[in-house]
A = this chain, B = another copy of it.
Amino acid sequence: MDMETLLVDSRGLEQVESVLANSFARSKARAATLGPTYHHLWETLETCAAGGKRFRPRMVMTAYDCLAGTDRASAAMVAASFEMLHTALIVHDDVIDRDFVRRGIPNVSGTYRLLAEDAGLAPDDAAHRGLSMGVIAGDLALSSAHRLLDGVRTDPATRERLGELLDDAVFASAAGELLDVDASTSDTSSSEETLQMARLKTAVYSFESPLKAGAVLAGADEAIVDSLGDFGRDVGIAYQLADDILGVFGDEKTTGKTTWGDLREGKRTALISFVAQRAEWEQISALVGSPELSAAGAEKIRGVLRSCGALDYVVSLAGDHALQAQHHLGAAHIPAALRDGLAPVATAVLARVR
């Protein structure tokens, strides 16, 4: 998921960068003592982590700052922890999807597949070598995410809550990945299943947990923490629905993604779940997920998604969730600074679908 259209200003991002840089520097120096190949793996992982927009750190830092947290160095550790988790999840997600490229350049698995091909391995073995390195690299990032929390200066109860929130994120993401793997071979999935998948794969680890973690570290009341969780869930679902729409109807120049990739892949988005339960499905079921899908075929699918009401339905569903998210921020117990700090997130998501 690419969040460049959803950047929220937040202070302290340089501190997050320096926590991440220090963490990688320590690991690389340590890895170098065990040999150049291990050092290279850490370098490759760092390159993969460097391309991101630091969206999850922005959520942590915004919540923390707007709730008047005063130890920004500790908040930066929490933020870096969620960024490291993001890195682990995308590296392993690419292994599961057998993707060897991300953002136009070879990812961890792609880097090692190329090296293995250069070393003369057969294509299948080179691909498996690449995926194996992805498994190892993702494990290192996941473990680093947990380790970064150990650097937070706080009381034991808060430390426990932070560990719980990171664990919530891992737990939900694994469930989302599992549903995704399952959905790729089932012909239909209900609307609720699609929403649940959006929540599990995106909302929890990208919005809910980082926002709650920033609030918990700032010592916020439970009511505020809970509201941030509600806000994160709804805005995260809205974000994912908008992403589903843009993946099929977006402007390639703006999104940087083709508008037939999701269709060719047969991705079970909210749009497809809607049409799959209607009579119109038989007009396009052979096209969705076809590796030979043409531009004309994609246009035909778009036409059906429009005429059967799928597009309108998902646009309005996304809008509902974004409005619901704004509503959570309107509660009386939410400080004005926090409301002001996060309103742009819901607004940006709303703007994406309109």
A→B interface (CB under 8 Å) = 27, 30-31, 34-35, 37-38, 41, 88, 92, 95-96, 98, 116, 119, 121, 128-129, 131-133, 135-136, 138-140, 142-143, 146-147, 150, 156, 159-160, 163-164, 167, 170-172, 174-175, 177-179, 181-182, 185, 196, 200
Contacts and interface: CB of A to CB of B under 8 A. Distances in A.
B146 A143 contact: yes
A138 B170 CA distance: 12
A133 B175 CA distance: 11
Given A30-B171, A139-B170, A167-B143, A96 B179 contact: no
Given A34-B175, A175-B31, A181 B129 contact: yes
Contacts of A160: 150
Nearest to A173: B139
B37 A179 contact: yes
A140 B37 contact: no
Given A34-B200, A142-B139, A182-B37, A147 B167 contact: yes
A133 B167 contact: no
Contacts of A38: 174-175, 178-179
24 contacts: A27-B171, A30-B171, A31-B175, A35-B175, A38-B174, A38-B175, A38-B179, A92-B135, A92-B139, A95-B135, A98-B128, A133-B178, A138-B139, A139-B142, A139-B170, A139-B174, A140-B171, A142-B142, A143-B146, A143-B167, A143-B170, A143-B171, A146-B163, A150-B160
